[in-house]
């Protein structure tokens, strides 16, 4: 779109906004009639470990959301001379899972417990066995049941449980709803009804019957809604909460709030069967849209849904680039002390490109970037660890290669179950997130790990906020009977497949050797968690 076209679209209120609360950044994106990003705004934040719980405070949540939106609105004013009063739709997405519970007055009962916590092992194990369905530790129902097992005093007061995206949406609209993709990480979804599984709800109620709580699970769960369905409008109070300046008008439609997994699928056009995507940042997860239900259930694999309710197998790992970021920060500090300040992006490029010069198997070097626990490999807590044998080929290239390979180590273990034991097929895996910002390298290592082609689109850097903006656009711009799959393939992406890399046989062989040592070395990582 040309400048004048964009300005008219903004002035007429046709543009839409997507806002996503990620692990380290809250980003807002405004898109126009051609679905391309126009301006954005971002707010950096970080979770805190308080009393053994990974959390973000309510103050941090709202400060971040408002700051991100304010920066977007300021960019609109600076670049187009327009004060943002109205848009066609707004949508919020956020990190999935976790535990936000509220009392009758709408007050938060305990600090937000994020997906990063590995404190619900007992609940996860019991529910998975009773349901014969994998209920991961991250899921909201695991957190709720663990609180019940712990006899936590706040439980009888619960009147509403939701996710981070659902919380934001509720405060802005008054509607207690969740997009079905996000809802599928709260409690299992029944494919025949596209809502929570009634049979499993009855099983849960039977488990807690003796507690005599003044609520039933039905009463406190948010309603699951499909992409494109009515999810409420911005209230006057919600408008002031989001934009204290008073410029933003009430009455704007809000899309169903989604999880970051769903927006990643949308942003990579991976919502149809046999498509998949891998999001690699603070955490890493891979999702494959299934042609059929899995034959068994596995602790390493979540079953969730697309924003339109199609079954998805998801391998989610808590740790990905955080340890890599730590090493890069240390290298930057060293170079600064040496009087050589290098832009951070260039330093990342050096690390990535040097890794390509290393031995295929990292020369016998091994790394575990576990800042937190990793359920896929059976660890409740994490200790970042680098280890080598005396005869290993210890050089910078192999070191960086081992760090980058390790970002995908736990993911590889989970995906091997999906591809080798269940025979799941994927025609293309799309990559997005920080691991893929440097051209080619992270993409080629993922292709080696899964031994399948990997594509990265030009829009991959936009990620979840852009995906949420697309869901917002779908809400107000879909044609009669138009599916989300058609909307994305025919109107947004126009057949764009991105840049595709086939797996390099040398890297495949090297990663296979690396993952064998990675599995064996998990005993060392476990010992570190027990003794350090």
What 3-state DSSP class applies to 38?
strand
Over the stretch 151-188, which tens digit does the pLDDT of each residue have?
999 999 999 999 999 999 999 999 999 999 999 999 99
Taking the whole predicted model, whether its pTM rises above 0.95 is answered as no
Tell me the CA end-to-end span of the chain in Å, nearest whole number.
Answer: 56
Q: Are strands 53-55 and 48-50 parallel, antiparallel or unpaired?
A: antiparallel
pLDDT at 495: 65
pLDDT at 262: 93
Q: What is the mean pLDDT of the segment spanning 479-501?
A: 89
pLDDT at 428: 85
Tokens of 309: 């309710």
Q: Are strands 499-501 and 284-289 parallel, antiparallel or unpaired?
A: unpaired
Judge whether 182 and 257 are in contact, CB under 8 Å: yes
Q: What is the mean pLDDT of the segment spanning 391-410?
A: 98
Q: How far apart are CA 183 and CA 195, in angstroms?
A: 8
270-456+502-532 has which fold?
Nucleotidyltransferase; domain 5 (3.30.420)
pLDDT at 162: 98
What 3-state DSSP class applies to 432?
strand
- Count CB atoms within 10 A of the CB of residue 229: 14
| Strand-pair partners of 93 | 20, 258
Tokens of 484: 């989300």
Helices (H), 249-407: 260-267, 322-337, 344-355, 396-406
pLDDT at 276: 93
Tokens of 308: 């339109």
**Mean pLDDT lowest for which of 1-10, 32-41, 278-287?**
278-287
Q: How far apart are CA 9 and CA 468, in angstroms?
A: 19
Q: What is the mean pLDDT of the segment spanning 281-297?
A: 91
Q: How far apart are CA 41 and CA 44, in angstroms?
A: 10
Beta-sheet strands, E only, within 45-139? 48-50, 53-55, 89-94, 100-102
Q: What is the mean pLDDT of the segment spanning 195-200?
A: 97
pLDDT at 509 over 90: yes
CATH 3.30.420.40, the chain: domain bounds: 97-162+187-220, 270-456+502-532
Q: How far apart are CA 343 and CA 324, in angstroms?
A: 16
Q: How far apart are CA 409 and CA 413, in angstroms?
A: 7
Residues 6+ apart with CB under 8 A from 167: 61, 100
Over the stretch 259-286, which tens digit does the pLDDT of each residue have?
998 998 999 899 999 999 998 888 898 9
Q: How far apart are CA 390 and CA 34, in angstroms?
A: 57
Architecture of domain 97-162+187-220: 2-Layer Sandwich (3.30)
DSSP secondary structure string for all residues of 468-526: HHHHHHHHHHPPTT--HHHIIIIIISTT---EEEPPPHHHHHHHHHHHHHHHHHHHHHH
């Amino acid at each position: 779109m040309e400048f004048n076209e964009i300005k008219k679209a903004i002035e007429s209120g046709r543009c839409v906004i997507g806002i996503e609360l990620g692990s380290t950044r809250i980003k807002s994106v405004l898109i126009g009639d051609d679905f391309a990003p126009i301006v954005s705004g971002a707010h950096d934040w970080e979770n805190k470990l308080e009393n053994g719980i990974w959390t973000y405070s309510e103050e941090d949540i709202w400060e971040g959301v408002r700051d991100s939106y304010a920066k977007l609105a300021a960019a609109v004013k600076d670049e187009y001379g327009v004060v943002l009063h109205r848009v066609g739709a707004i949508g919020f997405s956020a990190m999935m899972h976790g535990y936000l519970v509220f009392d009758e007055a709408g007050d938060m009962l305990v600090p937000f417990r994020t997906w990063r916590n590995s404190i619900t092992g007992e609940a996860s194990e019991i529910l998975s066995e009773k349901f014969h369905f994998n209920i991961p530790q991250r899921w909201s129902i695991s957190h709720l049941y663990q609180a019940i097992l712990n006899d936590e005093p706040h439980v009888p007061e619960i009147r509403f449980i939701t996710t981070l995206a659902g919380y934001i949406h509720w405060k802005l609209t008054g509607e207690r709803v969740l997009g079905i993709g996000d809802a599928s990480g709260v409690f299992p979804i029944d494919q025949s009804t596209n809502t929570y599984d009634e049979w499993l709800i009855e099983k849960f109620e039977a488990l807690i019957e003796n507690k005599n709580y003044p609520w039933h699970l039905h009463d406190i769960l948010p309603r699951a809604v499909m992409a494109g369905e009515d999810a409420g409008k911005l209230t006057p109070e919600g408008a002031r909460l989001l934009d204290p300046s008073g410029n933003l008008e009430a009455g704007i439609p809000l899309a169903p709030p989604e999880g970051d997994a769903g927006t990643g699928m949308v942003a990579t056009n991976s919502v149809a069967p046999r498509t998949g995507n891998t999001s690699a940042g603070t955490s890493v997860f891979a999702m494959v849209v299934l042609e059929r239900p899995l034959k068994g259930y596995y602790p390493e694999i979540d079953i969730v849904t697309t924003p339109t309710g199609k079954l998805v197998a998801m391998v989610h790992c808590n740790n990905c680039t955080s340890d890599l970021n730590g090493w890069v920060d240390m290298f930057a500090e060293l170079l600064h002390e040496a009087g050589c300040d290098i832009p951070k992006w260039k330093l990342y490029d050096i690390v990535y490109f040097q890794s390509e010069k290393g031995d295929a198997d990292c020369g016998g070097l091994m790394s575990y970037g576990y800042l937190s626990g990793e359920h896929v490999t059976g660890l409740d807590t994490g200790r970042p660890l680098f280890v080598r044998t005396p005869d290993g080929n210890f050089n910078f290239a192999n070191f960086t290669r081992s760090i980058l390979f390790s970002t995908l180590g736990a993911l590889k273990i989970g995906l091997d179950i999906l591809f080798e034991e269940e025979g799941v097929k994927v025609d293309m895996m799309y990559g997005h997130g920080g691991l893929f910002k440097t051209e080619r390298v992270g993409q080629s290592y993922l292709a080696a790990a899964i031994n399948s082609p990997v594509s990265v689109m030009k829009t991959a850097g936009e990620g979840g906020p852009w995906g949420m903006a697309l869901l917002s656009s779908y809400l107000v711009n879909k044609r009669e009977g138009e599916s989300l799959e058609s909307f994305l393939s025919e109107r947004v992406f126009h057949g764009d497949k991105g840049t595709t890399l086939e797996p390099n046989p040398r890297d495949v062989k090297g990663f296979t050797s690396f993952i064998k040592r990675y599995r064996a070395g998990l005993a060392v990582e476990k010992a570190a968690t027990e003794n350090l």
